[in-house]
């Protein structure tokens, strides 16, 4: 089968997000939770990349020699920090409005980022790092999505996933609280049935001969009113970093 035929894009999901794609950079808008958790996920990404490639995290532009792809990049909330860290950064999303928003904001910030409206399955380049953040729970076939990530990697490269666990706690906090009570995200943003357990994601990764190098939880601390990492609490959000063996 041709790789280009292995699309995992869900048209209904794209249509849903497209309704608010012009508001990606509104810190109090529909993507407010992503803005709030961005500092901790950028730190996680930086730590994982620097550890894997044995890079000094304190050096100027530590990612200078790396090619990084962000799949499902939206308006560029992660691409821009990656570019500032020195990476040759590309972002791809099937939402044309999100890509237009990302391009406009990058231009205003004088950042050189390659933004592509399309399907990651059609890409021919190879990358040192592939980021798949808050995207795998929105695709049609998660196992196939992991396979597509594999095709985009150089040898000894890494993929960093972040997604939501399928638990009673994630339903209460990720759906009921976030969408209906706190109104952090628009109603219908997530389908609990599409949340992915760490064991499932690990199985998809191992099927592609990935080595799992880290699994960390992402939790909201109501006392500090901020997101932080957790070594043990994977009940709602979590990261998984894997190496291309």
In the chain, domain spans? 3-244
pLDDT of 22-56, one tens digit each? 999 999 988 888 899 999 999 999 999 999 999 99
Mean pLDDT of the chain: 91
% of the chain at pLDDT higher than 90: 76
C-alpha triplet 70, 231, 190: angle, nearest 5°: 50
In angstroms, the CA 40 to CA 38 distance is 6
- Within a 10 A sphere around the Cβ of 73, how many other Cβ atoms? 28
Phi, psi dihedrals of residue 213, rounded to the nearest 5° = -110, -15
Q: What fold characterizes domain 3-244?
A: Rossmann fold (3.40.50)
For 207-243, how does the pLDDT look when each residue is reduced to its tens digit (9 = 90+)?
999 999 999 999 988 788 789 999 999 999 999 999 9
| Residues of the chain under the 50 pLDDT cut | 1-5
| Side-chain half-sphere exposure of 202, counting CA atoms within 13 A | 11
CB atoms within 10 A of CB 168: 9
Output the six-digit token pair for 107: 């231009």
Q: How far apart are the first and last CA of the chain?
A: 23
Could you say which DSSP state residue 199 is in?
Answer: H
The model's pTM: 0.91
E-state strands within the chain: 67-71, 88-93, 114-117, 127-133, 153-164, 210-221, 226-230, 237-244
- What pLDDT, on the 0 to 100 scale, is given for residue 4? 43
Question: Residue written as tokens 């990935």?
Answer: 210
Compute, in degrees rounded to 10, the torsion defined by CA atoms 114, 244, 227, 184. 60
> In this structure, what are the phi and psi dihedrals at residue 37, rounded to the nearest 5 degrees?
-90, -5
CA distance 56 to 180: 43
């Amino acid at each position: 089968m041709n790789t280009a035929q292995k699309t995992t894009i869900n048209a209904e999901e794209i249509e849903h997000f497209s309704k608010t794609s012009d508001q990606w950079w509104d810190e109090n808008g529909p993507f407010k939770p992503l803005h709030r958790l961005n500092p901790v996920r950028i730190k996680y990404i930086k730590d994982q990349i620097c550890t894997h490639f044995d890079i000094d995290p304190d050096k100027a532009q530590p990612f200078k020699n790396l090619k990084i792809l962000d799949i499902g990049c939206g308006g560029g909330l992660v691409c821009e920090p990656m570019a500032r860290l020195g990476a040759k950064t590309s972002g791809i999303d099937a939402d044309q409005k999100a890509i237009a928003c990302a391009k406009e904001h990058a231009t205003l910030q004088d950042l050189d980022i390659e933004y592509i409206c399309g399907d990651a399955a059609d890409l021919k380049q190879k990358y040192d790092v592939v980021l798949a953040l808050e995207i795998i729970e929105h695709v049609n076939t998660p196992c196939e999505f992991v396979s597509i990530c594999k095709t985009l990697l150089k040898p000894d490269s890494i993929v960093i996933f972040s997604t939501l666990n399928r638990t009673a706690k994630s339903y209460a906090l990720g759906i009921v609280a976030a969408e209906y009570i706190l109104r952090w995200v628009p109603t219908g943003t997530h389908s609990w049935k599409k949340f992915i357990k760490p064991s499932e994601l690990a199985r998809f990764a191992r099927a592609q001969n990935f080595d799992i190098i880290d699994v960390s939880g992402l939790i909201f601390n109501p006392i500090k009113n901020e997101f932080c990492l957790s070594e043990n609490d994977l009940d709602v959000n979590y990261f998984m970093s894997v190496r291309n063996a």
